[in-house]
Chain A
Amino acid sequence: MTGRATYGFDTLQVHAGARPDPATGARQTPIYQTTAYVFRDADHAAALFNLQEVGYIYSRLTNPTVSVLQERVATLEGGVGAVACSSGHAAQIMALFPLMGPGLNVVVSTRLYGGSITQFSQTIKRFGWSATFVDFDDLDAIKAACDDNTRAIFCESIANPGGYITDLDAVAAIAETQGIPLIVDNTSATPYLCRPFEHGATLVVHSTTKYLTGNGTVTGGVVVDSGKFDWSQNDKFPSLSQPEPAYHGLKFHETFGNLAFTLHGIAIGLRDLGMTMNPQGAHYTLMGIETLSLRMDRHVANAKTIAKWLEADPRVEFVTYAGLKSSPYFERIERICPKGAGALFTVAIKGGYDACVKMVNGLEIFSHVANLGDARSLVIHAASTTHRQLTIEQQIAAGAAPNVIRFSIGIEDVNDLIADIDQALAQATSDI
């Protein structure tokens, strides 16, 4: 180790968390395909179970391949630690679990991935939790929505299906006043474009399925802790600040300081909810992250070029991409995501719903899939798929109205992508 305090993003995305395998010298991180790990002796086993030592016990909790991924994402986000899990949706539950309890609520942006809206508006009710949805451009409404039972504020940095950038600094200031953490889903931006902790966020969640893996191979998620939140500042977070009955009365925050949230995620979250990432999945995601910055630069450049081209086309009604000067959120780019507004946006085509369906059917290079952040360009009609469970009002609030399609721009040759869109638009609007 050189002892240097900081390294560039491009170095960290290749190296952070990894080292040559101490047993074999293998340079690439091996896939440790094992469920359990041998203890040195009974004392070692007891110390591990008591959290007095850190080590591998069982792969539901920790695994050497998964650990490399966790440290890598934690490092890229500038956090203290991370817990990987089986999907982005699992990460959201893992982030909320230490904070919430029956009767408690989370204040949530209306501009979210449709699946997250359903998870928060419906499924978490089974735990006795609830969510209050607010337009995050209305800061007074966020404040008004926070009550004595609110335990977190949740939003996306660059919101799916694109075109919206949350003013993270303003929202974080509200969370700080309330003595609660701001949780930011940074999936669409990745830590290359946006670093939510630098804007006051406490926790970051990712669907690693998207840009981090970048090749559409595996689902995964991760929760990253900034390590900056004082869980003992009030009595709102007893699972972290008070003796935790699920871990023989251990006080996580007092015992582990700023490592508390991450260790709680392993020792209670993964232990008892079991939404673990597997080592194969971590391997694919680590492969992807090695090239994250290179891909994101291309994703953003292609998205900008295509959004501009579409905006100038008479067959298009409007394009909602924050990277366009016409966007009301254009001025937030420099502050929130200085390397670009991502590669997701929606397009409204003249001819409405029918034209959207024809457009999706007419595309050749673009894949019609329910995913984003792949190296391949993707397209979806959100209102009839990813945002289908929502009311029309929720769809419009989320930026997924019936007359728009969502593009996730890939890293192919931009001229080929434009030519594909051009011919599909011609088919879609031929009757107009």
Chain B
Amino acid sequence: MTQNPTDPMLRKIFAETKTLACVGVSMNPIRPSYFVARYLSLKNFRVIPINPGHVGETLFGEEIYADLASIPKDIQIDIVDIFRRSEYVPPIVAQAIEHLPNLKTIWMQVGVTNAKAAEMATKAGLQMIENRCPKIEYQRLFGELRMAGFNTGIISSKL
């Protein structure tokens, strides 16, 4: 597996991100992908939903597209967040590299890893994150997980 970014790198990634594409997002409110997309949109990220079964519908105020190639060119995607089984990841990454010129990070969700896709992304100069959830990392880095007794690793005497 690729080396996931350190906490300072993760903070930088979040700070520089405006828009994510969420591949495989579910319309079912108790599915993890729905949780994550909803949460990130609440945190003022723009979340572009990708789900070929619901093309043309909207989720959290954004139109749903069939795949990454169908996203209109005027929407600049910073992160592709992948909710698909590991073996389906390489063509998604290939499409991301080909069609998303602004892309900086490929993010594979908890339980998702693919060495071939990671190699493709790294070669294309993209940051790779595997087997992590952006919602959990955001909550950990910015103090929310602290409220539920999680080990955030944060030691600071600053206000």
**Interface set of A (CB-CB < 8 Å, partner B):** 1-5, 7, 11-12, 15-17, 19-20, 22, 25, 27, 47, 50, 52-56, 62, 64, 66-67, 69-71, 74-75, 79-84, 248-250, 254-257, 259, 262-263, 266
Contact A84–B158 (Cβ < 8 Å) = no
Q: Which of B6, B38, B42, B149 has the most CB of A within 10 A?
A: B149
The reply to whether B146 and A71 form a contact with Cβ atoms under 8 Å apart is yes
24 contacts across the A-B interface (CB closer than 8 A): A1-B155, A2-B156, A3-B6, A4-B155, A7-B155, A19-B154, A19-B158, A25-B159, A47-B38, A55-B147, A67-B146, A67-B149, A70-B150, A71-B149, A74-B151, A80-B151, A81-B149, A81-B150, A82-B149, A249-B30, A255-B32, A255-B35, A259-B148, A263-B148
- Residue numbers in A under 8 Å from B148 (CB-CB): 54, 62, 67, 70, 81, 259, 262-263, 266
Contact of B149 among A1, A19, A83, A248 (CB under 8 A): A83
The answer to whether A54 and B145 have CB atoms under 8 Å apart is: yes
B157 touches A257 (CB 8 A): no
CB pair B111–A17 under 8 Å, yes or no, is no
A5: chain B residues within 8 A (beta carbon): 6, 153
**What is the CA–CA distance of A23 and B136 in the complex, to the nearest angstrom?**
25
A74 touches B39 (CB 8 A): no
Q: B152 within 8 Å of A by Cβ?
A: yes
- How many chain B residues sit at the interface, stated as a range, is 20 to 34
Residues of B within 8 A of A (CB): 6-8, 29-32, 35, 38-39, 42, 110-111, 133, 136, 139, 143-159
How long is the Cα–Cα vector from A50 to B159 in the complex, in angstroms? Answer: 30
Tell me the bound Cα distance from A287 to B136 in angstroms: 29
A53 and B42 in contact, given A25-B159, A249-B30, A257-B133 (Cβ under 8 angstroms): yes
Assess whether B149 is in contact with A84, with CB atoms less than 8 Å apart: yes
Measured CB to CB, the closest approach of chain B to A66, in angstroms, equals: 8
**Chain A nearest CB: distance from B5 CB in Å?**
11
> With the chains together, A1 CA to B144 CA distance in Å?
16
Residue of B nearest to A250 (CB): B30
> Taking the nearest CB of chain B, how far is it from the CB of A79, in angstroms?
6
In the complex, the 4 A-B pairs of residues with the closest C-beta atoms, listed nearest first: A70-B149, A257-B110, A81-B150, A3-B8
